[in-house]
Amino acid sequence: MQTRIGTSVTEVAYLLSIGELVAIPTETVYGLAANALDEKAVQSIFRVKNRPVFNPLIVHVKDAEQFSKYASEVPAICLKLAKAFSPGPITFVLPKRNVIPDHTTGGGNSVALRIPHHPLTLELLNQLHFPLAAPSANPSGYISPVSAQHVFDQLAGKIPYILDGGDCPVGIESTVITFEKEKVVVLRLGGLGIEDIERVAGKVALQINQSSNPSSPGQLKSHYAPKTPFLLGDAAKLISENKEKKIGLICFGDVEIQNSAIYKSINLSSKGDTYEAASKVFHAMREMDAAGLDLIIATLIPENGLGAAANDRLERAAAEK
């Protein structure tokens, strides 16, 4: 199969309507999209990604009015948050209607819904009569793609078309939330900060279960990982313990570590901006993974803003496989 990169929304809509997979841009990462209501097409997502079939998919819709078509209960606080932050990097996990196939939800009884904030994908969704299941467009467990080229490098020959919407500005997956008696529960840290959600919904609860049996998207313990060995922690100590190796360092803020073992270094934000760091974390991991290193070492960043979400991705990349 030849894979093309282009900007034809009409062609992508046609391919999706006949059960094909395509890659689509969002503000967070590129998604591998299929008709969320077509079991055969959804099964193709799991096959192409080599994704565990129990790992639920996020379903993308054009607006919040669509929520009640696919979810049996939509709390008032959900609509309030959607009005405040959608389209945007927030996903709502709600009890599913039977129209959503079990394959799409990993066999679970809830569905993850979100409205992506990208003009091409919103135009696409407005042309379709079905929602799109779209996890990140990369082999399962590897670093999420934030450009059309990233998708091509990994999925060329496996899908017919990549809709090129440029680099993803947020650069990290959506924040995933659910509700317990109108209280917001965060299931995955992501591109919308907890502080922003709490300004609208009050105090939230965190239920960030890094699990081998996830109840929502983005809960696998080992995920977002480069192929190069990856360690996270005290950079000076880790470099000292591995000084015979060719090391790449991912750091943050006003830091300076001089060591001859460091072959390549990337600062996620020299000015200490956690939003900038989050937008660069996948770019940095991919660049390091292509540099022919023996080892990648990264440091944690402050937890404010999107720091906690960026740290979540670094921690999962460093988790034992």
Instruction: Give the pLDDT confidence score for residue 254 in this predicted structure.
Output: 81
Closest alpha carbon to 289 in 220, 234, 224: 224
Instruction: Give the pLDDT confidence score for residue 141 in this predicted structure.
Output: 86
Residues in CB range of 153: below 8 A, 6 or more apart: none
Instruction: Give the pLDDT confidence score for residue 208 in this predicted structure.
Output: 82
For residue 296, the 8-state DSSP code is E
Residue-wise pLDDT tens digits, 65-113: 999 999 999 999 999 999 999 999 999 999 999 999 999 999 999 999 9
Q: Where are the domains of the chain?
A: 4-206, 230-318
The C-alpha atoms of residue 310 and residue 130 are separated, in whole angstroms, by 32
The whole-angstrom distance between residue 2's C-alpha and the CA centroid of its chain comes to: 26
Q: Where residue 237 falls among pLDDT bands split at 50, 70, 90?
A: very high
Sheet holding 247-251, edge to edge: 230-232, 295-298, 247-251, 262-267
Instruction: Give the pLDDT confidence score for residue 87 in this predicted structure.
Output: 98
Mean pLDDT, residues 25-36: 98
Is residue 137 within 8 Å of 166, Cβ to Cβ?
A: no
Residue-wise pLDDT tens digits, 204-223: 999 986 555 555 565 555 56
Closest alpha carbon to 37 in 17, 23, 55: 17
The C-alpha atoms of residue 91 and residue 188 are separated, in whole angstroms, by 9
Residue-wise pLDDT tens digits, 114-160: 999 999 999 999 999 999 999 999 998 899 999 999 999 999 999 99
Pairing of strands 31-35, 132-133: antiparallel
Distances (CA, A) of 222 to 85, 209, 309: 29, 12, 15
| pTM confidence score | 0.92
Q: What is the CATH architecture assignment of 4-206? A: Alpha-Beta Complex (3.90)
For 106-232, strand residue ranges (E) read 110-114, 132-133, 161-163, 175-180, 183-188, 205-206, 230-232
pLDDT > 90 fraction of the chain, expressed in percent and rounded: 86
Mean pLDDT, residues 10-29: 98
Mean pLDDT, residues 40-48: 97
Tell me what the pLDDT averaged over the chain comes to.
93
State the Cα angle at 33 between 69 and 39, rounded to 5°.
65
Residue-wise pLDDT tens digits, 261-277: 799 999 999 999 999 99
Half-sphere exposure of 321 (CA within 13 A, CB side): 12
Please give the residue that has the higher pLDDT: either 202 or 257: 202
Closest alpha carbon to 125 in 137, 135, 112, 134: 134
The C-alpha atoms of residue 117 and residue 62 are separated, in whole angstroms, by 10
Instruction: Give the pLDDT confidence score for residue 205 in this predicted structure.
Output: 95
Instruction: Give the pLDDT confidence score for residue 181 in this predicted structure.
Output: 85
The C-alpha atoms of residue 54 and residue 160 are separated, in whole angstroms, by 26
Q: What is the CATH architecture assignment of 230-318? A: 3-Layer(aba) Sandwich (3.40)
Q: Where residue 243 falls among pLDDT bands split at 50, 70, 90?
A: confident
Closest alpha carbon to 14 in 99, 133, 129: 129
The C-alpha atoms of residue 231 and residue 27 are separated, in whole angstroms, by 28
Mean pLDDT, residues 3-32: 98
